[in-house]
Amino acid sequence: MSTLTLRNICKRYQNDNYAVKDFNLEISDQEFIIFVGPSGCGKSTTLRMIAGLEEISGGELWIDGELSNYLEPKERNLSMVFQNYALYPNMTVYDNMAFALKVRKMPKKQIDEKVQEAARILEIEHLLERYPKALSGGQKQRVAIGSAIVRNPKLFLMDEPLSNLDAKLRAQMRVELSKLHKELGTTMIYVTHDQTEAMTLGTRIVVMKAGEVSQVDSPQVLYQHPVNKFVAGFIGSPSMNFLDVSLYRGYDVENQKTYLTIEDHPVYLLEKTARLLKEKGYHRSKVTFGIRPEDIYTEEGKEANPKLEYSEAMQVTIIARELLGAEVMLYFDLEGIQFCARVEPENQTRAGEKLKVYFDLNRIHLFDMETEQTLNL
């Protein structure tokens, strides 16, 4: 059982700037929480404050209902796995995993049970007699995680544990970590700057920017309903396309619809979108338009998804085509900004050719140009 509350947590190093500012979060038992954000946004600092490796400058840290700001790291009953997993080179895998327990003077038999159990979970039983130098990167990583598991922590903290691994191994370890979380049922907090890792591992994701929390939500909600342009652009790969556009309301005499224009083409918004904008006082102003690559359709894509609501056709000239196995990315310019559309693999459009594209009107995102907050949320 482990719950965690961070209330108005701040960190200032010697210089006056905040590395972490007003961080608020309630973590329930057994959650898999991800801290994600660009380099320097304060992920490691926050994790280290939870671990007790960094002094908390302001705010309250509650672990299982106990105010824990001033507890020693070892009193917090948590295990941390770092990016540079430190294994003792002169000890076998077994001894590496047993080390913390020996220090605690746990009886030999009990140590053996714990190490064997962790080795079974991580599928490294056959490696127990080896030395670290005879292990691959992924195997070393497992041993480091094994050393953390045997301590039976209430809470696991991991700081970019996979970043030293190649792409294939990372993908494999991601699956392993998910399985591990299910099997152990321990609360986990995991730091990464990789949005794919965040999306696949987390039950909830905390998106950070410049020391502050931008949004906390499940992967799906973050993806579909980002609260601002930063989250919208950070989550999802390839990234959401953005363009600053003009917004008009009731200008079109035929239908009194709200619309925006892209290269002089009108894109009529759905009634519900128009209503949300109106509520916020947005008409006849500039806004930032956003659409994800997979929400841009070709004629064939549109026919295959007849139930969606689309914008009028817009003719674009393809400037590049990328085949990524099961999908094709097509690139084109709108008002000088490069857009990416993810289309069906059968699509044969080449660079230099023209193509009609359609936007899924239910998946359009609109942002205030200044505050960058989402307007149609």
Out of 114, 140, 193, 249, name the contact with ligand ATP by CB under 6 A: 193
> Minimum Å distance from CB 245 to ligand ATP?
33
Q: Which of 23, 33, 34, 44 binds ligand ATP (CB under 6 A)?
A: 44
> Residue 83 CB, nearest distance to ligand ATP (Å)?
8
Q: Pick from 4, 6, 9, 19: which binds ligand ATP (CB under 6 A)?
A: 19
Q: How far is the CB of 189 from Mg ion (least distance, A)?
A: 13
Tokens 């009107």 correspond to 361
Nearest CB to ligand ATP, comparing residues 193 and 229: 193
Residue 42, interface with ligand ATP (CB under 6 A)? yes
- Binding of residue 229 to ligand ATP (CB under 6 A): no
CB neighbour list of residue 249: distance below 8 Å, 6 or more residues apart: 258, 274, 277, 278, 283, 284
The interface partner of residue 40, options being Mg ion, ligand ATP, none and the CB cut-off 5 to 8 Å by kind, is ligand ATP
Spatial distance between the Cα atoms of 345 and 323, rounded to a whole number of angstroms: 8
Residues forming the site for Mg ion (CB under 5 A):
44
E-assigned strands of the chain? 4-12, 18-27, 32-36, 58-63, 66-67, 78-81, 155-159, 187-192, 204-209, 212-217, 241-249, 258-262, 265-268, 286-291, 296-297, 314-324, 327-334, 337-343, 354-359, 365-368
Q: Which of 8, 24, 40, 299 binds ligand ATP (CB under 6 A)?
A: 40
Nearest to 118 by CA among 90, 81, 163: 81
Cβ–Cβ under 8 Å, residues 217 and 355: no
- Taking CB under 6 A as the binding criterion, the range among 43-51, 66-74, 87-95, 236-244 that sits at the site for ligand ATP is 43-51
Stretch that binds ligand ATP, among 38-46, 85-93, 291-299, 362-370 (CB under 6 A): 38-46
CB 46 to ligand ATP: min, Å: 7
Length of the chain measured in residues: 377
Distance, in Å, from the CA atom of 247 to the CA atom of 245, rounded to the nearest integer, reads 7
Question: Which partner in ligand ATP, Mg ion, none is near 19 (CB below 5 to 8 A by kind)?
Answer: ligand ATP
In angstroms, what is the minimal distance from the CB of 40 to ligand ATP? 4
Q: Is 214 in the site for ligand ATP (CB under 6 A)?
A: no
* Minimum distance from residue 358 beta carbon to ligand ATP (Å): 38
Q: Which of 25, 27, 33, 41 binds ligand ATP (CB under 6 A)?
A: 41
10 Å CB burial of residue 269 (0-12, 13-18, 19+) is buried
Which residues within the stretch 53-82 sit at the binding site for ligand ATP (CB under 6 A)? Answer: none
Interaction between residue 16 and ligand ATP (CB under 6 A) = no
CB of 43 to Mg ion, least distance (A): 5
For residue 238, cis peptide bond before it (omega within 30 degrees of 0) = yes
Instruction: Give start and end residues of each alpha helix (H) in 124-228.
Output: 137-149, 167-184, 195-201, 219-224
Helix, strand, or coil here: 163?
coil
CA dihedral 127, 132, 136, 142 (to 10 degrees): 60
Q: Which residues bind ligand ATP (CB under 6 A)?
A: 13, 19, 37, 39-45, 193
